[in-house]
Chains A and B, each alone.
Chain A
Amino acid sequence: MAGISMRVNGREVDADVEDRTLLVDFLRNNLVLTGTHVGCDTSQCGACVVHLDGKAVKSCTMLAAQAAGSDITTVEGLMSDGELHPVQRAFREHHGLQCGFCTPGMIMAATDMIARHGAALDEATVRTELEGNICRCTGYHNIVRSILAAAAEMNGTQQAAE
Chain B
Amino acid sequence: MGVEGIGARAARKEDRRFITGQGRYTDDMVVAGMKHAAFVRSPHAHARIKGIDKSAAESMPGVLGVLDGKQLTEDGIGNIICGWMIHSTDGSPMNMGVWRPLAEDKVRYVGDAVVVVVAETRALAQEAAEAVQVDYEELPAVTDAVSAIEPGAPQIHEAAEKNLIFDWEIGESLAVEEAISDAANIVELEVSNNRLIPNAMEPRAALGLYDSAEEHYTCWTTSQNPHLARLVMSAFYNVAPENKLRVIAPDVGGGFGSKIYIYPEEIVCLWASKRTGVPVKWTADRSESFLTDAHGRDHVSTIKIAFDANNRMTGIKVDTLANLGAYMSLFSSVTPTYLYATLLSGQYNVPNVHANVRTVYTNTAPVDAYRGAGRPEACYLVERAMETAARQLGVDPAELRRINFVKEFPHQTPVIMNYDTGDFEASLDAAMQASDYAGFPDRKAEAQARGKLRGIGLSCYIEACGIAPSQAVGSLGAGVGLWESAEVRVNAVGTIEVLTGSHSHGQGHETTFAQVVADRLGIGLDTISVVHGDTDKVQMGMGTYGSRSGAVGMSAVAKALDKVESKARKVAAHLMEADEADIVIDEGHLKVAGTNKGIPWSQMALACYTAHDLPEGMEPGLKETAFFDPANFTFPSGCYVCEVEVDPDTGKTDIIQFVAADDFGNIINPMIVEGQVHGGLAQGIGQALLEGCAYDPETGQLLTASYMDYTMPRADDLPNFEVSTTVTECPSNPLGVKGCGEAGAIGSPPAVINAITDAIGNNDLSMPATSQNVWKALNEA
**Chain A interface (Cβ within 8 Å of chain B)?**
18, 20, 28, 32-42, 44-45, 47, 74-76, 78-79, 84, 88, 91-93, 95, 97-104, 107, 123-124, 126-128, 130-131, 133-144
Q: How far is the CA of A47 from the CA of B200 in the complex (A)?
A: 12
The answer to whether A45 and B201 touch across the interface, beta carbons within 8 angstroms, is: yes
> B374 at the A/B interface (Cβ < 8 Å)?
no
The answer to whether A98 and B714 touch across the interface, beta carbons within 8 angstroms, is: no
The answer to whether A36 and B21 touch across the interface, beta carbons within 8 angstroms, is: yes
Name which residue of chain A comes closest to B254, CB basis.
Answer: A99
Specify which of B506, B683, B715 lies most central, judged by the most chain A CB atoms within 10 Å of its CB: B715
A127 CB contacts on chain B under 8 angstroms: 715-716, 718
A11 to chain B, nearest CB (A): 15
The answer to whether B716 and A40 touch across the interface, beta carbons within 8 angstroms, is: no
Q: How far is the CA of A131 from the CA of B19 in the complex (A)?
A: 20
The answer to whether A41 and B287 touch across the interface, beta carbons within 8 angstroms, is: yes
The answer to whether B19 and A141 touch across the interface, beta carbons within 8 angstroms, is: no
Q: How far is the CA of A58 from the CA of B141 in the complex (A)?
A: 39
The answer to whether B706 and A136 touch across the interface, beta carbons within 8 angstroms, is: no
The answer to whether B707 and A40 touch across the interface, beta carbons within 8 angstroms, is: yes
A81 to chain B, nearest CB (A): 14
Q: How far is the CA of A97 from the CA of B679 in the complex (A)?
A: 10
The answer to whether A140 and B682 touch across the interface, beta carbons within 8 angstroms, is: yes
Name which residue of chain A comes closest to B23, CB basis.
Answer: A100
Name which residue of chain B comes closest to A76, CB basis.
Answer: B21
The answer to whether A134 and B678 touch across the interface, beta carbons within 8 angstroms, is: no
Q: How far is the CA of A88 from the CA of B202 in the complex (A)?
A: 20
B468 to chain A, nearest CB (A): 24
The answer to whether A35 and B23 touch across the interface, beta carbons within 8 angstroms, is: yes
Q: How far is the CA of A131 from the CA of B285 in the complex (A)?
A: 21
14 A–B contacts, CB within 8 A, in A order: A28-B28, A34-B25, A40-B706, A41-B285, A41-B706, A47-B201, A75-B19, A95-B671, A95-B675, A97-B15, A102-B201, A124-B716, A134-B201, A144-B715
Query: B interface, how many residues as a size bin?
Result: 35 or more
The answer to whether A137 and B286 touch across the interface, beta carbons within 8 angstroms, is: no
A40 CB contacts on chain B under 8 angstroms: 286, 706-707
Extra 12 A-B pairs, beta carbons < 8 Å, given A76-B22, A140-B682: A32-B30, A34-B21, A34-B28, A41-B286, A74-B21, A92-B15, A99-B505, A101-B23, A128-B716, A130-B714, A139-B721, A140-B714
> B11 at the A/B interface (Cβ < 8 Å)?
yes
- Flag B266-300 by CB within 8 Å of A: 1 or 0 each: 00000000000000000001110000000000000
B252 CB contacts on chain A under 8 angstroms: 99
The answer to whether B202 and A141 touch across the interface, beta carbons within 8 angstroms, is: no
A140 to chain B, nearest CB (A): 4
A83 to chain B, nearest CB (A): 11
> B253 at the A/B interface (Cβ < 8 Å)?
yes
Given A91-B19, A140-B682, do A44 and B708 touch, yes or no (CB 8 Å)? yes
B15 CB contacts on chain A under 8 angstroms: 91-92, 97, 100
Q: How far is the CA of A101 from the CA of B706 in the complex (A)?
A: 18
The answer to whether B22 and A35 touch across the interface, beta carbons within 8 angstroms, is: yes
Q: How far is the CA of A131 from the CA of B253 in the complex (A)?
A: 20
B30 CB contacts on chain A under 8 angstroms: 32
Among A37, A104, A136, contact of B683 (Cβ-Cβ < 8 Å): A136
Among B21, B28, B505, B720, contact of A141 (Cβ-Cβ < 8 Å): B720
The answer to whether A101 and B12 touch across the interface, beta carbons within 8 angstroms, is: no
B12 CB contacts on chain A under 8 angstroms: 92, 95
Given A42-B286, A139-B681, do A97 and B714 touch, yes or no (CB 8 Å)? no
B671 CB contacts on chain A under 8 angstroms: 95
Name which residue of chain B comes closest to A20, CB basis.
Answer: B123
> B508 at the A/B interface (Cβ < 8 Å)?
yes
Q: How far is the CA of A78 from the CA of B28 in the complex (A)?
A: 20
Q: How far is the CA of A98 from the CA of B504 in the complex (A)?
A: 10
> B712 at the A/B interface (Cβ < 8 Å)?
yes
B506 to chain A, nearest CB (A): 3
Across the A-B interface, give the 9 residue pairs with the lowest CB-CB distance, nearest first: A35-B21, A101-B253, A100-B18, A139-B682, A99-B506, A44-B707, A98-B506, A139-B678, A130-B715
A106 to chain B, nearest CB (A): 10
B200 CB contacts on chain A under 8 angstroms: 99, 101, 136
A46 to chain B, nearest CB (A): 10
Name which residue of chain A comes closest to B287, CB basis.
Answer: A41
The answer to whether A140 and B20 touch across the interface, beta carbons within 8 angstroms, is: no
The answer to whether A88 and B19 touch across the interface, beta carbons within 8 angstroms, is: yes
Among A91, A98, A103, contact of B508 (Cβ-Cβ < 8 Å): A98
A76 CB contacts on chain B under 8 angstroms: 20-22
> B507 at the A/B interface (Cβ < 8 Å)?
yes
B683 CB contacts on chain A under 8 angstroms: 136, 139
> B256 at the A/B interface (Cβ < 8 Å)?
yes
Q: How far is the CA of A19 from the CA of B505 in the complex (A)?
A: 36
Among A32, A92, A100, A141, contact of B253 (Cβ-Cβ < 8 Å): A100
Q: How far is the CA of A137 from the CA of B508 in the complex (A)?
A: 12
The answer to whether A104 and B21 touch across the interface, beta carbons within 8 angstroms, is: yes
The answer to whether B672 and A42 touch across the interface, beta carbons within 8 angstroms, is: no
Among A33, A45, A140, contact of B707 (Cβ-Cβ < 8 Å): A45
Q: How far is the CA of A107 from the CA of B285 in the complex (A)?
A: 23
B85 to chain A, nearest CB (A): 32
Given A100-B506, A103-B18, do A136 and B712 touch, yes or no (CB 8 Å)? yes
The answer to whether B202 and A101 touch across the interface, beta carbons within 8 angstroms, is: yes
> B466 at the A/B interface (Cβ < 8 Å)?
no
B577 to chain A, nearest CB (A): 46
Given A92-B15, A104-B21, do A131 and B707 touch, yes or no (CB 8 Å)? no
The answer to whether B201 and A39 touch across the interface, beta carbons within 8 angstroms, is: yes
A93 CB contacts on chain B under 8 angstroms: 11
> B629 at the A/B interface (Cβ < 8 Å)?
no
> B169 at the A/B interface (Cβ < 8 Å)?
no
Name which residue of chain A comes closest to B203, CB basis.
Answer: A39
> B314 at the A/B interface (Cβ < 8 Å)?
no
Name which residue of chain B comes closest to A133, CB basis.
Answer: B715
Q: How far is the CA of A140 from the CA of B202 in the complex (A)?
A: 17
B720 CB contacts on chain A under 8 angstroms: 123, 141, 144
Given A40-B706, A131-B714, do A136 and B22 touch, yes or no (CB 8 Å)? no
Among A33, A101, A107, A126, contact of B715 (Cβ-Cβ < 8 Å): A126
Name which residue of chain A comes closest to B123, CB basis.
Answer: A20
Given A76-B20, A97-B19, do A137 and B721 touch, yes or no (CB 8 Å)? no
> B251 at the A/B interface (Cβ < 8 Å)?
yes
> B450 at the A/B interface (Cβ < 8 Å)?
no
- Flag B687-724 by CB within 8 Å of A: 1 or 0 each: 00000000000000000001110001111101011000
A135 CB contacts on chain B under 8 angstroms: 201
A146 to chain B, nearest CB (A): 10
A41 CB contacts on chain B under 8 angstroms: 285-287, 706
A84 CB contacts on chain B under 8 angstroms: 19-20
Q: How far is the CA of A126 from the CA of B203 in the complex (A)?
A: 26
The answer to whether B678 and A136 touch across the interface, beta carbons within 8 angstroms, is: no
Q: How far is the CA of A136 from the CA of B671 in the complex (A)?
A: 18
> B155 at the A/B interface (Cβ < 8 Å)?
no
Q: How far is the CA of A79 from the CA of B20 in the complex (A)?
A: 8
Q: How far is the CA of A101 from the CA of B713 in the complex (A)?
A: 17
Given A41-B287, A84-B20, do A138 and B679 touch, yes or no (CB 8 Å)? yes
> B612 at the A/B interface (Cβ < 8 Å)?
no
A34 CB contacts on chain B under 8 angstroms: 21, 24-25, 27-28
